[in-house]
Amino acid sequence: IYNPQQTSFEVKKGPVFSSLILADEINRAPAKVQSALLEAMQEKQVTIGDTTFLLPELFLVLATQNPIEQEGTYPLPEAQIDRFMLKVVIDYPTMAQERQILDAQDSTESPIRVMPVAQPEDILKSRQLVHKIYMDDKIKDYIVSLICATRDPKVLNLDVAYIETGASPRATINLKLTAKCLAFLAGRGYVTPDDVKDAALDVLRHRVRVNYEAEAEGVSSEDIIRKILDTIPVP
């Protein structure tokens, strides 16, 4: 930005220079804004002109998207979609949760103050522990088989149609990491096949693209992933 008082340009760092980025309704941002996140999400750096700035070591992007609203929205580039480790679908609240929401509206008091429960250093240490979680070679082969089945089901003798494009190598890496995270949260030092199966939908649902025939017949990527999970032998 040009500073007329100093007759020079100066860098004004925006919100992307943070540890946690919340991109609310990311599909309402135009393509130029969405593409600006690509370098940050993959390289953990931002280039402005001829200068590159490193982002914090702890850098997370959390995005929300309305699955129904289409007016005034822009499709996310495939390259950006693939950079999201997980796509979690939030369903309607249960009756009990709905009642809690209703009761919460009876008070005009200020919201409860949120207290920090961890420091960035704690999260970085947890990451190191996750990477040390043991994964047997048979489970690694199982992960590779699942991913390859989304690309060419016939190779594994699977009768799965409707796939436009399968999952990328990032899916293989992220499925491994997510399975290790689930094992870590369960207090185990090793990964089980159930960890992989529990992580598969969230890791793959946004990476497996279905063709027009599937859309016409109401077949989603989740249906295909479930069929693959039910077909591939579990070690």
Is 137 found in the same domain as 79?
Answer: no
Q: Is residue 99 part of a domain?
A: no
Q: Does 57 share its domain with 158?
A: no
DSSP-assigned beta bridge partners for residue 60: 20
Residue 232's identity, in one-letter code, is I
> 146 with 73, same domain?
no
pLDDT tens per residue, range 69-119: 666 677 787 888 898 999 999 889 999 999 988 888 777 776 677 888 889
CATH label of the domain that carries residue 14: 3.40.50.300
Q: Let me know if residue 215 belongs to a domain.
A: yes
The string of pLDDT tens digits covering residues 36-74 is 788 888 888 888 778 888 998 999 999 998 777 666 677
- Structurally, the chain folds into a number of domains equal to 2
209-210 and 8-9: which strand pairing? Answer: unpaired
Task: Count CB neighbours of 102 within 10 A.
Answer: 9
Domain residues for the domain of 47 are 10-84
Amino acid code (one letter) for 63? A
Residues 80 and 127 both lie in one domain: no
